[in-house]
Amino acid sequence: MLVSDFDYELPEELIAQEPPAERGGARMLTLDRTTGAYEDRMFRDFPEFLREGDLLVLNDSRVIPARLFAHRAGLHTQPGHHTTGRVQVLLTEQISEWEWRVLARPGRKALVGEVLSFGDGALCAEIIAHSEFGERTLRFEPVADFFGEIEKLGHIPLPPYIHRAAVDGDRERYQTVYAHERGSVAAPTAGLHFTPEILDQIRARGVQIAYVTLHVGLGTFQPVRVEWLEDIHLHTERYTLPESTASELNAAKREGRRVVAAGTTTVRTLEHCALAGEEFAADSGSTNIFISPGFEFRVVQALLTNFHLPQSTLLMLVSAFGGREHMLTAYRHAVAERYRFFSYGDCMFLS
């Protein structure tokens, strides 16, 4: 299939620049993926679409304030050589305890061997590698509380289609209410709609709630630069499937209960782990699973998701789940009804 098969017309003004006035206040378009029938609802109605015995799986990754500003402290490789200047750094992926892949701007000021100083020296890092796609690899000097320093020094990295600077309110609203495991540089946005009250309503209906972790990387925003789907290769992202969730998934499978995923990140984690065998087991690692039409879903039977970019790998994933023609028809309806799109926008429920 062609990447262009997943295109649709989206007016710029429908891209949400702010979150809804109240968390949980988004609209929700429901889609029956068998018939293609859709209905305009509100997210607060979501508990009504869940059944007693369902297993709802959420991604508990926590967004870190990954946009940092550094001063160039000099080059390790050239003793006596000193450079200055401000560099913006966006953490994109943690490789090991102290090493991160990053994007640096301006790139010409971020040379291999150079040392960057953040927050008057609270954090220091050496640039140890430069990739062909412009990413750098930083090795940070060990500190007692790395993420604590990041929380103090960093800024929330809003997506590139939000054309404003991050404000203090984004630290709370660009984060799910159940976020726990630190490591994402973008929010698992389907989860942004949940409130503690809605989660309580879901539990009261006899629905189990379980968690996985997938740390969302910058690749979620990068445009597809190839023509054919078979040429797409995704960035890897780190995931964890806890033992408790593995047990709940196995029980749901044995008992014929429905597994409902909140977000494409949850789908990718569950379907990646399902490739290992018939039974789920606690696991952690990295995945670059690419889901597109023709994919055989082994786990997920219903999906809550936000609206996705034209020609994006996430639109390909939901098209694999809901059917490409059904999805594009539903998206055209959403545009006509002026739904709000992308991270801070409205959502869909596919069942």
Task: Work out the pLDDT band at 109, boundaries 50, 70, 90.
Answer: confident
| Contact predicate 88/102, CB 8 Å | no
The answer, yes or no, to whether residue 106 has pLDDT greater than 90, is: no
Alpha helices in 13-122 (DSSP H): none
- Give the integer Cα–Cα distance in Å for 249 and 185: 27
3-63+169-350: CATH topology is QueA-like (3.40.1780)
> Would you call 109 helix, strand, or coil by DSSP?
helix
How confident is the model at residue 350, as a pLDDT? Answer: 98
Question: 264-274 and 313-322 helices cross at what angle (nearest 10)?
Answer: 70
**DSSP secondary structure of 262-323:** ESHHHHHHHHHHHTT-SS---EEEEE-----TT---SS--EEEEE---TT-HHHHHHHHHH-
Q: In whole angstroms, how far apart are CA 179 and each of 174, 184, 211, 247, 292?
A: 10, 10, 10, 21, 28
Lowest-confidence pick of 69-83, 160-174, 212-226? 69-83
How confident is the model at residue 132, as a pLDDT? Answer: 66
Task: Work out the pLDDT band at 134, boundaries 50, 70, 90.
Answer: confident
How confident is the model at residue 75, as a pLDDT? Answer: 59
- Cα maximum dimension of the chain: 70
pLDDT in tens, 291-304: 999 999 999 999 99
Instruction: Kindly tell me the sign of the dihedral angle through the C-alpha atoms of 44, 46, 50, 55.
Output: negative
How confident is the model at residue 79, as a pLDDT? Answer: 45
DSSP code, position 162: S
Would you say the pTM of this structure is higher than 0.75? yes
DSSP code, position 329: H
The answer, yes or no, to whether residue 15 has pLDDT greater than 50, is: yes
Within 13 Å and on the Cβ side, how many CA atoms surround 336?
Answer: 7
Task: Work out the pLDDT band at 150, boundaries 50, 70, 90.
Answer: very high
Task: Work out the pLDDT band at 82, boundaries 50, 70, 90.
Answer: very low
Q: Which of 3.30.110.40, 3.40.50.720, 2.40.10.240, 3.40.50.2000 would CATH assign to domain 67-153?
A: 2.40.10.240
pLDDT in tens, 188-216: 999 999 999 999 999 999 999 999 999 99
Query: Residue written as tokens 């946009």?
Result: 67
The answer, yes or no, to whether residue 76 has pLDDT greater than 60, is: no
Q: Please name the helix (run of DSSP H) or strand (run of DSSP E) that holds residue 133, with its range, or none.
A: none
| Rounded mean pLDDT, 132-157 | 91
How confident is the model at residue 223, as a pLDDT? Answer: 80
pLDDT in tens, 322-345: 999 999 999 999 999 999 999 999
The answer, yes or no, to whether residue 133 has pLDDT greater than 70, is: no
- Give the integer Cα–Cα distance in Å for 142 and 171: 25
The answer, yes or no, to whether residue 78 has pLDDT greater than 50, is: no
- Give the integer Cα–Cα distance in Å for 216 and 90: 13
How confident is the model at residue 77, as a pLDDT? Answer: 42
CA 336, distance to chain mean position in Å, is 26
| Rounded mean pLDDT, 209-234 | 88
333: number of Cβ within 10 Å: 14
pLDDT in tens, 38-72: 999 999 999 999 999 999 999 999 999 999 999 98
How confident is the model at residue 85, as a pLDDT? Answer: 75
The answer, yes or no, to whether residue 273 has pLDDT greater than 50, is: yes
Within 13 Å and on the Cβ side, how many CA atoms surround 135?
Answer: 19
Mean pLDDT of the chain, nearest integer: 93
- Give the integer Cα–Cα distance in Å for 194 and 24: 6
pLDDT in tens, 249-264: 999 999 999 999 999 9
137: number of Cβ within 10 Å: 18
> Greater confidence, 219 or 230?
230
- Give the integer Cα–Cα distance in Å for 136 and 129: 6
Indicate where the chain has its CATH 3.40.1780.10 domain(s): 3-63+169-350
| b (16+ CB within 10 A) / e for 9-30 | ebeeebbbeebbeebbebbbbb
